[in-house]
């Protein structure tokens, strides 16, 4: 009957929105995710993990557009829903905690972001295992935070672990790990190693690979390195990529 089709349609709209976001078509992505959220609220109520996932996807859409205050509010709502669920949903709480940490990191609220990254790692190790890709992603995010904090000696071993992690070949996380270690090495004065790492991740950072939203911070860090090295032409290559990202 019609009622059974609603969850399927809500899921389909959600997946359509994600696909549009990954193609950089964020303008078209908003209507389906808002309709999906409206459907889930009707179907399962305001305090269900399905509703939290729809809130998260709407938050990510705001994040890709640089609407960080709106994204943070939605991520907080999603986390409060996930935290109200039982212990069996530790993985859902881990992802929601990671997402809120990321937006606080982007908004330069480093202390709060660090607390949440560490909490997400603890939840993930307990529910998914220390070698799970989601846990490795959060450890990489914590390492990038340490780079932004100037805590390079703490970031370095975490980043070497991230570079060694078996990410899917050519994935955006592999590119991000290489690039963040390159920035760390550059700031520590190891120019040769930094240049080698920048060369390894150049194609991934300048080519299309997953949602463009992840590229903003590594591009900004890379531009900063090349400007510090007084290489404006190389910085300009990355700046053009940064300016091409959809808002």
Structure confidence by residue, pLDDT tens digits, 179-218: 999 999 999 999 999 999 999 999 999 986 556 778 999 9
Quick one: pLDDT at residue 4? 46
Q: What is the pLDDT of residue 22?
A: 76
The sign one gets for the Cα dihedral 225, 231, 232, 235 is negative
What is the spatial distance between Cα 116 and Cα 177, in angstroms, rounded to a whole number? 20
Q: Residue 131, class by beta-carbon neighbours within 10 Å (0-12 exposed, 13-18 middle, 19+ buried)?
A: exposed
Find the mean pLDDT for residues 215-226. Answer: 96
Largest CA distance in the chain: 66
More confident residue, 66 or 144: 144
Query: What is the rounded CA–CA span in Å between residue 148 and residue 33?
Result: 32
Band the pLDDT of 1: cuts 50, 70, 90: very low
pLDDT at 208: 63
- For the entire predicted model, the pTM comes to 0.91
Average pLDDT score over the chain: 92
Give the count of beta carbons closer than 10 Å to the beta carbon of residue 17: 27
Q: pLDDT tens, 93-135?
A: 999 999 999 999 999 999 999 999 999 999 999 999 999 999 9
Q: How do residues 64-102 score in pLDDT, each as one tens digit?
A: 888 999 999 999 999 999 999 877 788 999 999 999 999
Q: Is the pLDDT of residue 220 over 70?
A: yes
Structure tokens at 132: 């799970």
């Amino acid at each position: 009957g019609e009622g059974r089709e609603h969850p399927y349609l809500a899921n389909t709209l959600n997946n359509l929105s994600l696909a549009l976001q990954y193609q950089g078509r964020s303008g078209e992505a908003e209507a389906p995710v808002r309709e999906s959220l409206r459907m889930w609220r009707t179907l399962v109520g305001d305090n269900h993990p399905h509703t939290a996932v729809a809130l998260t996807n709407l938050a990510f859409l705001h994040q890709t557009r640089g609407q960080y205050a709106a994204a943070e509010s939605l991520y907080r709502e999603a986390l409060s829903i996930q935290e109200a669920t039982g212990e069996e949903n530790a993985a859902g709480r881990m992802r929601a905690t990671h997402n809120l940490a990321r937006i606080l990191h982007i908004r330069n609220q480093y202390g709060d972001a660090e607390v949440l990254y560490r909490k997400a790692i603890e939840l993930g190790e307990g529910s998914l295992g220390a070698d799970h890709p989601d846990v490795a992603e959060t450890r990489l995010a914590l390492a990038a935070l340490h780079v932004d904090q100037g805590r390079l000696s703490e970031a370095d071993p975490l980043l070497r672990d991230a570079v060694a992690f078996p990410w899917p070949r050519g994935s955006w996380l592999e590119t991000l790990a290489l690039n963040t270690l390159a920035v760390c090495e550059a700031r520590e004065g190891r120019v040769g190693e930094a240049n080698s790492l920048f060369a390894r991740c150049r194609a991934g950072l300048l080519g299309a690979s997953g949602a463009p939203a992840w590229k903003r911070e590594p591009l900004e860090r890379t531009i900063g390195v090349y400007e510090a090295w007084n290489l404006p032409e190389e910085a300009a290559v990355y700046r053009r990529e940064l300016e091409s990202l959809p808002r």
